[in-house]
């Protein structure tokens, strides 16, 4: 397979994980089957929702060699690439913290409802990070809109209260912040190791060991810096993102000459990760909330096996049409992840009865409602946004 050919299974699997994220995020309702939702922090096990987020992080890692490698192959200076990585990371951290705090808005002490606060905040985010087609003629308009976005967010941060004396905080980086830290580490590793599989494997193993040491409380001396760098110190998120990066390097190296060997290698690594995860289960429970190494390994294994199957079916057998509906979401993932939240807050603010299925007594209908929501937001919405060219860019 020529390296220049786009690997369509990456876009489709990224779109699939995103649609599943929208589905499980909508499932916080009584009566939903336990295997579909998140397991509790101290429960030894996992459901579908416990794989979806690490599955998406895995796909973030798979995209890094193509994205950064493409920039460098076009002659972009290293300083410019590093600047791009840092800007993207900081953007993810900022949006992650804003989203994390939005869930804790106390209407009484903030002075406005959670929905209204979040609608203004998200509007500011969209104005700042919209993918403007900037030219010399619209320079002032574009930067004026970005400034307007900043001016919308700053007052929201200032008035925010989660309690009588609890203001805006960054104690949780949120989902996007977790992705941001994992992306930063993995992108820098890629710049240092490039397409060297052994160096990347060493970095991957380092963060797995870091995850193990952290869960054994052997890194507690780093507690003073954990509020900021805790996701890196824990090692779990970088380990998962680096695993995706590692699989892409294998894909690029082996698929040129021996596609069957590539598929078998990736699937075998996946099975090995799952086995290793269950071995580590003797010391660490399988827990997403605790970010245990057993959970990370099992999730990576599932992602590897799933990607090997999709790669074989889509890119080798050329069976693309069945999954084409997932590609728009995969190609515009940040936008498709954020926009549904805006719709939630509009629905709640205006008391629209669109989420009626959440109050039904029949679990099947409750789940079906979330399936419909995920398909509308993860399949229909991307097509609409693509037509009107609405895209966020970090």
Nearest to 52 by CA among 175, 199, 183: 175
Please report the pLDDT score of residue 38 as a whole number.
79
Count CA within 13 A, CB hemisphere, residue 353.
3
pLDDT for the residue numbered 1: 42
pLDDT of res. 251: 92
Low-confidence stretches of the chain (pLDDT < 70) are 1-5
Q: Where are the domains of the chain?
A: 8-104+162-387
Nearest to 283 by CA among 227, 220, 354, 212: 212
Q: How far apart are CA 230 and CA 250, in angstroms?
A: 30
Q: Given this model, what pLDDT does residue 3 score?
A: 41
Q: What per-residue confidence (pLDDT) applies to 5?
A: 58
The structure's pTM equals 0.92
The token duo for 201 is 């494997």
């Amino acid at each position: 397979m020529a390296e220049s050919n786009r690997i369509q299974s990456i876009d489709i699997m990224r779109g699939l994980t995103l649609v599943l994220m929208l589905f499980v995020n909508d499932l916080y309702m009584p009566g939903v089957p336990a295997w579909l939702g998140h397991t509790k922090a101290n429960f030894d096990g996992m459901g579908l929702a416990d794989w979806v987020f690490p599955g998406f992080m895995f796909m973030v890692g798979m995209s890094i060699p193509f994205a950064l490698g493409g920039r460098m192959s076009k002659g972009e200076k290293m300083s410019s690439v590093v600047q791009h990585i840092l800007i993207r990371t900081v953007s993810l951290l900022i949006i992650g913290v804003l989203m994390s705090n939005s869930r804790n808005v106390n209407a009484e002490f903030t002075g406005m409802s959670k929905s209204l606060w979040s609608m203004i905040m998200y509007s500011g985010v969209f104005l700042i990070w919209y993918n403007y087609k900037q030219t010399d003629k619209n320079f002032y308009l574009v930067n004026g809109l970005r400034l307007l976005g900043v001016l919308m967010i700053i007052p929201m941060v200032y008035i925010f209260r989660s309690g009588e004396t609890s203001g805006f905080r960054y104690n949780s980086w949120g989902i996007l912040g977790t992705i941001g830290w994992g992306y930063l580490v993995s992108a820098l590793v890629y710049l240092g190791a490039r397409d060297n599989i052994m160096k990347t494997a060493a970095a991957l193993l380092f963060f797995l060991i870091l995850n193990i040491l952290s869960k054994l409380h052997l890194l507690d001396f780093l507690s003073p810096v954990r509020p900021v760098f805790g996701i890196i110190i824990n090692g779990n998120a970088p380990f998962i993102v680096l695993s995706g990066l590692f699989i892409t390097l294998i894909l690029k190296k082996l698929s040129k000459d021996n596609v069957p060997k590539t598929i078998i290698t990736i699937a075998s690594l996946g099975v090995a990760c799952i086995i290793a995860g269950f071995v580590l289960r003797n010391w660490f429970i399988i827990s997403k909330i605790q970010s245990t190494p057993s959970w990370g390994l099992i999730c990576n294994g599932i992602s590897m096996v799933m990607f090997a199957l999709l790669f074989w079916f889509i890119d080798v057998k050329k069976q693309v049409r069945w999954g084409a509906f997932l590609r728009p979401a995969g190609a515009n993932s940040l936008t498709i992840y954020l926009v549904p939240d805006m719709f939630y807050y509009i629905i709640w603010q205006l008391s629209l009865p669109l989420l009626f299925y959440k109050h039904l007594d029949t679990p099947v209908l409750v789940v079906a409602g979330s399936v419909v929501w995920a398909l509308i937001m993860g399949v229909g919405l991307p097509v609409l946004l693509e037509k009107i060219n609405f895209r966020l860019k970090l």
